Structure 1
Amino acid sequence: MTKYKLEYIWLDGYTPVPNLRGKTQIKEFESFPTLEQLPLWGFDGSSTMQAEGHSSDCVLKPVAVYPDPARVNGALVMCEVMMPDGVTPHSTNKRATILDDEGAWFGFEQEYFFYKNGRPLGFPAEGYPAPQGTYYTGVGYSNVGSVARQIVEEHLDQCLAAGINHEGINAEVAKGQWEFQIFGKGSRKAADEMWMARYLLQRLCEKYEIDIEYHCKPLGDTDWNGSGMHANFSTEYLRTVGGKDYFEALMAAFEKNLMDHIAVYGPDNDKRLTGKHETAPWNKFSYGVADRGASIRVPHSFVKNDYKGYLEDRRPNSQGDPYQIASQILKTVAEVPTSAEKAVAA
């Protein structure tokens, strides 16, 4: 038997953006534990905005498990928060209510800033560095520094070692800003892995005395980019059948549900979605082929392939909850009948 260090990880009750939380317990197993072997575990919800002090018990329910690359015999345990009965989802548990579809594929592009001493990494103590231009996908100390490159490479290795489908990294448009991409088949699986990748990044940065700033517009109304979490998505029907008529009906549904999407795409999005810096205004819907200033960017490959493939919703921001983002996208997609559904209705 081997003693395993189980890091139970969950989302707290803070609004409008929950925080990641984690605590460790030690359990013995003959080999790396399966999800079914992991027990429920209680915690003090009054310390995480999830209960009152006079009735503070909440329960962690394991829902996914990954190897912990930073620990010997370690496991990262993604959890849902449940009521004391261990069965009823807590009101803050957005994962429990996600519209899940194993045939839906999501690729999230997580942008963020490294922050140190209250300013983006690489910014001078006063004022600003050289204007945006050479930082995006940049190389060299003056563009990306040294420690940032070290962190993103280490984070990449940790995600891959944990079995997370990390698909790439790049320096972003603003000084101190970076991006990583997570892809998953199944909306719940993709969102789980994004939250776990965020956790690994934040934990890794502890030893460098650097924070991750997820706010979508941390530098305010300046000529510096904000941060998004663009959501690339497809369904089995969109990949295999598609068609121009279906695509146009889908875009009409997205336009109709504009405010429902904005409501869950992350707080303060009006500060980021201004129509500047490759964004569409938050209160207007648009789409266009290869248009990074549209709400939804349509890849050239999608049009060339008879309107089949994936689409990119550029509106979700860096603080957004991938559970809610994926679920809202699928809710809108579900409003548009496929050709087979139309035939049955007729």
Structure 2
Amino acid sequence: MATFYAPRLFLTRQLVRFRSHFLANSPNASLDKSILQRYSNLETPTNRVQATYLWIDSSGERTRLKDRILDKVPSGVEDLPDWQYAMYNVLDGENTLKPRRIYRDPFKPGKKDMIVLCETYSADGKPSATNKRAAFQEAVDRIGDHEDPWFGIEQEYFLMDVRGRPFGWPANGFPAPQGPYYCGLGANRVFGRDLVEAHTLACLYAGIDFSGSNAEVMPSQWKYQVGPSGGLKASDDLWVSRYILQRIAEEYGLVVTFDPKNGAHTKFSTKAMREEGGIRTIQEAIEKLSRQHERHIKAYDPKEGEDNSIIDKFSWGVANRATSVRVPSNVATAGKGYLEDRRPRSNSDPYAVCGALVRTCLLNE
């Protein structure tokens, strides 16, 4: 009996030591979250709305936010006012936030409170350098409704502690080799599931087309999917889902990293691809992509020169995950469906990725 319990006792002591050390380095995790609940239950005026304006900052990789109190419930995004903001690294001039899509806010108590996803515009009235959404919108507008492009995006990420080490990894070493972690189960294999499931519920509440999640090949590495959605919806959803994930991780005292070692595989289809005989249209699109490989790599890489997978030479295959573009086996069997571009990085801007797919495959640029 003593032999049976000894490893469990050792593990429990190690976890207690780890948690104590972790909390000491994570101020957010040590806060009493129940205090906020006292105020979350307070009744607010019926004509007052909390709107969290969310935008992509000048890094092109991070989101920022500020809250605005509105004096009426907007009937749609067109009723929301623009808002000025100052760039943190620019002392002169102001930029403008232009609302583009509304989401329900899972962090606010009122059912009418919202997240407002915005585009950024410079003082001269032109889209800012990191506003890839405006160009994507312009491309979608040019192709018309008959193409009906759909996108589905996978988002991989790591959970880190505040010291920059993967959450749950040994303090002075590495976990056991890969194998048991992918879609795994067990306290010695999976770290952070509570956070992941909270993220799923919050995204569904917000109105994101959230389609699933799973543990990945290394401990504390996870993946979720948004879409399939038409037009700009999947890209909007991905940015807002990234924000929601980081907000929840903030409450747990964890840090989310979209390190480029991870991926953001993007599924793409048009109406013709989804119809009978669509495999021919898929093959035509792949041929176009093969001729624009370098252009796509530049669009997918927010920081050119860093590591990226499958960049040296374009390749494609059926059920082959080591290629630039994959045609799933079920698509090949059915003769219709979608292709999967496996080149985007986990920190890629989905507007740039999906915009490049539209411009190459549908606008023949």
TM-score range, shorter chain: 0.7 to 0.9
User: What amino acid is the match of 2:288?
Assistant: A
Gaps of 5+ in 1: 218-226, 274-280, 338-346
Question: Structure 1 residue 88: deviation in Å?
Answer: 3.1
The 3 A distance-change label for structure 1 pair 334 and 313 is: same
Instruction: Give SS of 1:143's match.
Output: coil
Q: Return the alpha-carbon distance in structure 1 between the equivalents of residues 78 and 307 of structure 2.
A: 44
1:271 correspondence with 2:324:
no
| Structure-1-length-normalised TM-score | 0.84
Identity %: 38
Cα pair 2:61 2:348 within 8 Å, conserved: no
Matches within 5 A, 1:195-344: 195-217=239-261, 227-240=262-275, 242-266=277-301, 267=303, 271-273=307-309, 281-306=310-335, 308-334=336-362
Cα pair 1:270 1:282 within 8 Å, conserved: no
Per-residue displacement from partner, 1:286-338 (whole Å, max 9, x unpaired)? 111111111111112222223x211111111101000000011111112569x
The 3 A distance-change label for structure 1 pair 11 and 336 is: closer
Q: Residue 64 of structure 1 is aligned with which of 71, 84, 101?
A: 101
Q: Return the alpha-carbon distance in structure 1 between the equivalents of residues 250 and 328 of structure 2.
A: 38
Question: Structure 1 residue 214: deviation in Å?
Answer: 0.7
User: What amino acid is the match of 2:169?
Assistant: F
In proportion to residue count, which structure has more strand?
A: 1
Q: Residue 53 of structure 1 is aligned with which of 91, 100, 117?
A: 91
State the partner residue of 1:93.
131
Matches within 5 A, 1:90-169: 90-98=128-136, 99-100=139-140, 103-116=148-161, 117-145=163-191, 148-169=192-213
The 3 A distance-change label for structure 1 pair 67 and 159 is: same
Instruction: Give SS of 2:211's match.
Output: strand
Cα pair 1:216 1:268 within 8 Å, conserved: no
Instruction: Give SS of 2:189's match.
Output: helix
Cα pair 1:67 1:75 within 8 Å, conserved: yes
User: What amino acid is the match of 2:101?
Assistant: A
RMSD: 2.0
Gaps of 5+ in 2: 1-45
User: What amino acid is the match of 1:39?
Assistant: P
Paired residues in the alignment total 309
User: What amino acid is the match of 1:41?
Assistant: W
State the partner residue of 2:19.
none
| Structure-2-length-normalised TM-score | 0.80
State the partner residue of 1:182.
226
Instruction: Give SS of 1:2's match.
Output: coil
Q: Return the alpha-carbon distance in structure 2 between the equivalents of residues 183 and 247 of structure 1.
A: 19
Per-residue displacement from partner, 1:4-34 (whole Å, max 9, x unpaired)? 11100001112xx4310100011122x4652
The 3 A distance-change label for structure 1 pair 269 and 158 is: farther
State the partner residue of 1:78.
117
User: What amino acid is the match of 2:50?
Assistant: K
